Each structure stands twice: as structure tokens, then as C-alpha cells.
Amino acid sequence: MLQVVLHINENQKWQALLSNVENFQIWLAERKEAGNIEILVNGEAVDKVLQDSSVNLAKVLKTGVKIAVCQNSLNARAYTPEMLQEGCTVVPAGIVELVQKQHLGFAYVKP
């Protein structure tokens, strides 16, 4: 099973990241392969996981993609977990999440 964690910390990279997710999902489907996809969001990119964001994550979440959001980045901007789009998961520290996923065999991609 292929596993990937995509890391985003810049608001202008959302379109590229979501395109990467879609392309990876198409590749998996064409080959009938299983895969796990996680998006790790930290830094300024947490702005785009808020409920009133221009980036709608409902579609990607419905496909089984996990979206992990850094608590430290939320704290730095005075955002609370209740302000996030439904389906996002808060992790204590983005850096720790990335290291843990890589330790578990996830490939690391930063668009």
C-alpha cells in the first residue's frame, strides 16, 4: 500500500496540493491499488482550513483523505479547533506528525 503525507504551510500552494492529491488518487484507482493520503497543514496555510475559507475540503475528505492541522499554528493565530472545516483533525505539532508519518513509511511531498 502506498502512503503519502503532503505538507502545506503556504496559502498560495493549496491548488497545487489539491491537484497532487487528485492525481495520486487517479493513479491509485487506475491501478486498483490501495493508498493512504494525509494532508498536514501548518503555518499560514491553516487560514484555508477555517469554515469560511475559499478552499472547500469537503470533497477531498469524502474520498478518505485525512487532514491534520497543527495546534501550534492554530494557537499562533488565535484559532480554535471549532473554527475548522468539519472533518479536520488537530495534531499537537505539525513537525512531530510529519516525522511520525515518515517513520511509519509515508512518503513526504511538499508541493
Domain count, the chain: 1
Q: Give the separation between CA 111 and CA 107, rounded to whole angstroms.
A: 13
Average pLDDT over residues 41-46: 98
pLDDT of residue 82: 98
Q: Are 45 and 76 in contact (CB under 8 A)?
A: no
**What is the C-alpha separation between 109 and 20, in angstroms, rounded?**
9
Locate all alpha helices (DSSP H) within the chain, ordered by sequence. Answer: 14-30, 58-62, 71-76, 94-103
102, HSE (Cβ side, Cα atoms, 13 Å): 11
List the one residue out of 19, 68, 12 whose CA is nearest residue 44. Answer: 12
Residues 50-100 have pLDDT tens digits of 999 999 999 999 999 999 999 999 999 999 999 999 999 999 999 999 999
- The reply to whether the predicted model has a pTM over 0.85 is yes
Structural domain boundaries enclosing 88? 2-109
- Amino acid, single-letter form, for residue 8: I
Task: State the pLDDT at residue 85.
Answer: 98
Nearest to 42 by CA among 111, 109, 101, 91: 91
Residue with cell 487517479: 26
CATH number, domain with residue 85: 3.40.1260.10
